[in-house]
Structure 1
Amino acid sequence: MLQTIASVAPSPIALLRSRDVAHPERAVRRGEIVPLRAGVYADTRQWEKLAPWDRYLARVHAVAVARPDALFSHESAAVLLGLPIFGDPVVVHVLAGPGTTARLVAGVRIHNGTYDRKLVQLGGMLLTSAADTAVDIARTRHPAIGLAVADAALRADPALSRAMLVALNESRSSKRGRAIARWPLHNATPLAATAVESVSRAALEWLGFPPASLQVSLRSRTGEVDRPDFLWPELGVAGESDGDLKYDGRYGSPVEILKRQWQRDARLREQLKAVAHWGWFEATTVDPLRTLLLGHGLRPVQPENPAALFSLRRAVAPAAPHRVVPSP
């Protein structure tokens, strides 16, 4: 089934073809351009300024330029759809028809199997739907990454539900893939407003802390409504997981953001005992998050999952995902 959608995330930099550059081999040797695919280049200075996830988006567009018939899947479909990408995955993923041998060729991973996926067309590019992309990633990546992408897919498409993702996974043929995807898909929710919240939810469960309510509206005495990312109402504790990502300037003056946060925290403390703040580092390196929450009065209600916590550090600690939007 093919669905047409209006827009796709554009390449963050201009892509150059061989015909656009005089003597491209010499330009590469001089360091003026960077080869992204055979016959597709980018200006070196622009490339070096890109965040890792934007470099990956440019790589995917470079493959689309070189192979206009490519059908993108996994992280490559995710980045085109605006779903979370962790660092620069480097390898571009495409689907081929039944009977094709799965293989990795020059940085492009070719997967077998288009027959069981819904496809969308974005600006002339073909890719798997948000639902199929979320299920593909949940079946093949770390559970915290699968959870972040599934949460984002539910946020992006109100017509999509957790039950639909679960059913889609169960309809796939690989028993091992179904088992891997069950935890992230059964726990997916559109209430997690950012990928940092999604990863934090995974870390909190594996640390053994009690489940929190998400995005609960609390009205202050003066009428303002605040929605903390996490709330443990019986303990009087709220949690905010945007942390350091708010203060790098991308969302405005850090001074003004800190002022608004102080005011918001003061309103929340009218009804709560404490407001805990953490960022990407604390959520993914785990130990600081545990110490922070214990210091705010939370206590584990089940044993920790050491294997899951160790794999979380290895899978997502090096780089934050793109398009993290802070809570209002």
Structure 2
Amino acid sequence: MTHSLSVPAVLPSPVPLLRASEIPHPELALARGELAHVRRGVYAPHEQWAGLPPWERYLARVHAVAICIPDVVFCAESAAALRGLPVFGHPREVHVLRDDGADAGVTGDLRIHTASGPREIADLGGYAVTDDGDTAVDLARHRHPAIGLAVADAALRRDPALSVENLVARNEARASSRGRRRARWSLHRANGDAETTLESISRAAIAWLGFPEPELQRWFTACDGHRDRADMWWPTEQVIGEADGDLKYDGRFGDPVAAMRERRRRDARLRDHVRSVAHWAWDEVTEFTRLRSILLGAGLRRIQPEDTARLLELRRLLAPLSPSPSPYPRDQSAPPRPAV
């Protein structure tokens, strides 16, 4: 591992965490339903814990490990959770990094990794974590390529000092050739212009469906001066693609009826410039046959055969995350963008 970088603090735990030593008779509080068990020796108020989405429960578990094991270095999903990068669902283990030569493996809820090459370690207000670049490379090497792409996109989006070339170079410097090969698909395609996790996962599905890669965040100006930005743009077919998270229309960002009305007005302005505007959400990406139909119906043509095996893997990855209220990564959707 290499030198530390000083950057802002980590995301806080979403619930108060209490040591067993701070609670009189914690087993009784558990039995009464007042507390929830987070990890051995650490508890949280049950009502607050029960209301957390899975990735926030995972963030709380990472903080619980930091309480119990000071000076540990977090990596992989655990670093992503602390740094606010996409985390899918509720990972089983908390990931920590130790120097090459230490014993790797699983101990309880900990997955211990050994450093097989240089890592940039950031000091986040007393928490040691791999930096955004190495976190993205780690996940691209060891997780599904769609997850690797989502995290790499988010890392580039947030850190202007990172680049695709930098991520690729870090991957190529690692020891395992198998990991290098696995990560290349995600890292070479990473693009910080993808604004949400849904856009990143959509990009992966679109590629495996055989459609051409779109341009991202294209601006269009209407006759009356309104400017609208499209998530994805295929200039050859004159098709716009909009990865609309369901959160935009469930009321939490304002009146959903008004949001849908504005979407219709926006689409009408965009159709002055293009042939069609296609919309989809998480369900369509998870059930990729629906996304295929939407894009074909919009007039987009495939340029290569469908990679059905990858798409089935993606469906298996996303389908278990389907329970309400909001099963997908923290930044999976953004409020509707106003016209300017």
Q: Percent identity of the aligned residues?
A: 53
- 1:126-275 equivalences under 5 Å are 126-275=128-277
5+ long unaligned stretches in structure 2: 322-327
Please name the residue that 1:311 is paired with. 313
**Residue 284 (structure 1) shift:** 2.0
Q: Which moved more, 1:25-34 or 1:190-199?
A: 25-34
**Residue 90 (structure 1) shift:** 2.8
Please name the residue that 1:103 is paired with. 105
CA distance in 1, matches of 2:73, 2:121: 9
TM-score w.r.t. the length of structure 2 is 0.93
The Cα offsets for residues 258-289 of structure 1, whole Å up to 9 and x where unpaired, read as 22212211111111121111001111220110
**Residue 115 (structure 1) shift:** 5.4
RMSD: 1.3
**Residue 215 (structure 1) shift:** 0.7
Q: Is the 8 A contact 2:198 2:245 kept in 1?
A: no
**Residue 114 (structure 1) shift:** 7.3
**Residue 234 (structure 1) shift:** 2.2
5+ long unaligned stretches in structure 1: none
The Cα offsets for residues 217-243 of structure 1, whole Å up to 9 and x where unpaired, read as 111111121111111122221110124
- 1:64-103 equivalences under 5 Å are 64-103=66-105
Please name the residue that 1:11 is paired with. 13
Q: Is the 8 A contact 2:117 2:174 kept in 1?
A: no
**Residue 256 (structure 1) shift:** 2.5
CA distance in 2, matches of 1:226, 1:103: 50
Q: Which moved more, 1:140-149 or 1:23-32?
A: 23-32
Given candidates 31, 40, 55, the residue that maps to 1:53 is 55
Q: Is the 8 A contact 2:233 2:240 kept in 1?
A: yes
Please name the residue that 2:329 is paired with. 321
Q: Which moved more, 1:303-312 or 1:168-177?
A: 303-312
CA distance in 2, matches of 1:243, 1:63: 32
CA distance in 1, matches of 2:125, 2:250: 32
**Number of aligned residues:** 328
**Residue 257 (structure 1) shift:** 1.8
The Cα offsets for residues 137-189 of structure 1, whole Å up to 9 and x where unpaired, read as 00000000000000000001011100000000000000100000000000000
CA distance in 1, matches of 2:152, 2:251: 28
Q: Runs of 4+ in structure 1 displaced over 4 angstroms?
A: none
CA distance in 2, matches of 1:325, 1:303: 29
Aligned partner of residue 160 in structure 1, secondary structure = coil
Aligned partner of residue 116 in structure 1, secondary structure = coil
Please name the residue that 1:41 is paired with. 43
